[in-house]
Amino acid sequence: MKKSHTLLTGIFLIFTITIIAQKKETQPNILFILADDLGYADLSSSGSTFYETPNIDKIANEGTVFTNGYANSRVCSPSRASIMTGKFTARHDITVHIGSPSGEAWRTRNKFTKMLPAEYTHQLPANFVTMPEALKAAGYKTFFTGKWHLGPKGSWPEDHGFDINVGGWTKGGPSGGYFSPYKNPNLENLEDGENLSHRLAKETVKFMKDNDPKKTGKPFFAYLSFYAVHSPIQTSKDKWEKYQDKAVSQGIAKKGYKMGKYLPIRQVQDNPIYAGLVEQMDDAVGEVLAGLEALGLDENTIVVFTSDNGGVAAGDNFSTSNKPLKAGKGYQFEGGIREPYIIKIPGISKKGDKIDYPVSGADFYPTFLDLAGAKQLPDEHNDGVSLLPLMKGKSLKERALIWHFPHYGNQGGEPSSIIRKGDWKLIHYYEDGRKELYNIAKDISETNDVATTYPDKVTQLNKELFDYLKEVKAKYPMNDPNYSETKAKDYLYNVEHKKMPSLEKQRIKMLSNNFQPNKNWWGSMITKD
């Protein structure tokens, strides 16, 4: 009897081990590619006739495009924290890019605004179970390379679930620029002049090769977080020449900017340096996709491409236009938050498939757990939902997406909170309490505020928005008692009558045949407000 029990136990253990091994073999790898500051209209597959992105377009053409895909914030750190946690920004409390001044310290920026921005959390909280931590628990090897910007040392990628970190650290921009030496403590300089985007691609391919599941028995989660296309915008001379010729052949617009409330906003895509930077990132994406295929991993690897906020149409380098969307990075409008949002799942995605259901960066966490066959963690990814049912042809119930930005953006955006539910988008402004209502399905450019036409819809959405903000104990901006209307008007006059003309001159100069940023084409353009 004892021998029989032992035999049965042994058979059960072998059966269990076999099932676990089979599960590990079938668990998909995940390649998550995040661009920085890439706009909704910055891909040729999403409508650009100036930029060329054949490799990212390939993912879009073979995968599923979410046409109402959103970042969770108009700036980087909050959006990235939402990807990592599955939470909207008001819940995790990183509501602006880490390092931005708040309270009275905001006055040092000399923007002369009516309000003082709210306080916020300055690093990703250690008590959250992050997406990579959850995937590690599900058996994944985890890798991060590129931009992090979620806190100082002690809150870097390796502190939040990544087994390997190459290049992720405190800073939000590419210190040293896009050509080595990088001035990054977590990225070794190998050769002067090496391109940063290509280097991150090589590191990703190396990780996939070293951790091939066919050898290790473990699936991988590779998070490729490009610094591109964040400022300073830089490219090589051959790329500039290509796009300078293209801009001239397409016809150079006489006027490239239109004055917004606080800053000029770019209206055309004709910046040849930015175009070259976009293409260099796309080339790097191509390297990674080719690496996947060469390793024979493409048939069992989910590929995702998205961005962390809108393209920079104002502020920073004033680089791109997001039209037909309004404004860009830092703004409460679609140009600030709507993104390329592409998921390719072998065996599930249908070529050219498009889904209109509104989704956000917070949804990646539960979606990846679903794809990995892991248990959902609703107390962690509180605000995200798995998108797998949608990709299998099923439906999800209507839900609200919420954005909270009690700050002024460096790019000209205003302190505001947003709710989108179905086709409707409500914006609440903190300076004066006004509200704007748009039907995004009919008015993607947000040209027709219908708040006075649909007062009941305003009341309904406003209640849902502030019920949520109250539940998560959101923080709010305060009126500045030192506000000077005279100083504010003087500041805006100088922006419109001095800054905007200088930007127009700079734009034309960049398109001239004799343009030369420096001797070696590194550090091509760094503008300061």
Helix/strand/coil (H/E/C) assignment for every residue in 54-101: HHHHHHHHHCEEECCEECCCCCHHHHHHHHHHCCCHHHHCCCCCCCCC
SS (H, E, C) 276-314: HHHHHHHHHHHHHHHHHHHCCCHHHEEEEEEECCCCCCC
Domain assignment of residue 147, yes or no: yes
Domain assignment of residue 202, yes or no: yes
Q: Calculate helix-pair angle for 364-371, 76-85, nearest 10 degrees.
A: 30
214: pLDDT strictly greater than 50: yes
pLDDT confidence of residue 26:
82
Round to whole Å and give the CA distance between 33 and 306: 7
Domain assignment of residue 373, yes or no: yes
pLDDT confidence of residue 443:
98
Nearest alpha carbon to residue 31 among 376, 290, 301: 301
Is residue 425 within 8 Å of 441, Cβ to Cβ? no
Domain assignment of residue 428, yes or no: no
Nearest alpha carbon to residue 169 among 192, 144, 198: 144
CA 231 to the chain's CA centroid: 14
DSSP for 113-136 reads -SEEPPP---S--TTS--HHHHHH
Q: Is 193 left (phi over 0), alpha (psi -120 to 50) or beta?
A: left
Round to whole Å and give the CA distance between 347 and 404: 37
Task: Kindly report, residue by residue over 43-67, the tens digit of the pLDDT.
Answer: 999 999 999 999 999 999 999 999 9
Round to whole Å and give the CA distance between 425 and 419: 6
Domain assignment of residue 108, yes or no: no
Domain assignment of residue 189, yes or no: yes
Buried b / exposed e across 268-288, counting CB within 10 Å, b at 16+?
Answer: bbbbbbbbbbbbbbbbbbbbb
Taking residues 445-469, report their average pLDDT.
98
Token representation of residue 444 = 């993607």
Domain assignment of residue 105, yes or no: no
Task: Kindly report, residue by residue over 55-109, the tens digit of the pLDDT.
Answer: 999 999 999 999 999 999 999 999 999 999 999 999 999 999 999 999 999 999 9
Domain count, the chain: 1
192: pLDDT strictly greater than 90: no
Taking residues 126-153, report their average pLDDT.
98
Is residue 94 within 8 Å of 150, Cβ to Cβ? yes
State which residues form the domain around 71.
28-100+117-391+483-510
pTM: 0.94
Token representation of residue 392 = 């299998």
Round to whole Å and give the CA distance between 378 and 192: 47
Task: Kindly report, residue by residue over 391-450, the tens digit of the pLDDT.
Answer: 999 999 999 999 999 999 899 999 999 999 999 999 999 999 999 999 999 999 999 999
Round to whole Å and give the CA distance between 164 and 440: 41
Domain assignment of residue 462, yes or no: no
Task: Kindly report, residue by residue over 495-504, the tens digit of the pLDDT.
Answer: 999 999 999 9
Round to whole Å and give the CA distance between 180 and 187: 10
Task: Kindly report, residue by residue over 8-53, the tens digit of the pLDDT.
Answer: 444 433 333 333 444 445 899 999 999 999 999 999 999 999 999 9
CATH, residue 221: 3.40.720.10
CA-to-CA dists, residue 189 to 183, 194, 229, 234, angstroms: 8, 8, 20, 18
Is residue 407 within 8 Å of 415, Cβ to Cβ? yes
| 255 half-sphere exposure, CB direction, 13 A CA radius | 7
pLDDT confidence of residue 521:
75
pLDDT confidence of residue 527:
39
Token representation of residue 264 = 């000029």
Task: Fill in the amino acid letter for 151.
Answer: G
pLDDT confidence of residue 1:
43
166: pLDDT strictly greater than 70: yes
Burial of 318 (0-12, 13-18, 19+ CB in 10 A): buried
For 401, phi then psi, to 5°, come to -105, 135
pLDDT confidence of residue 401:
99
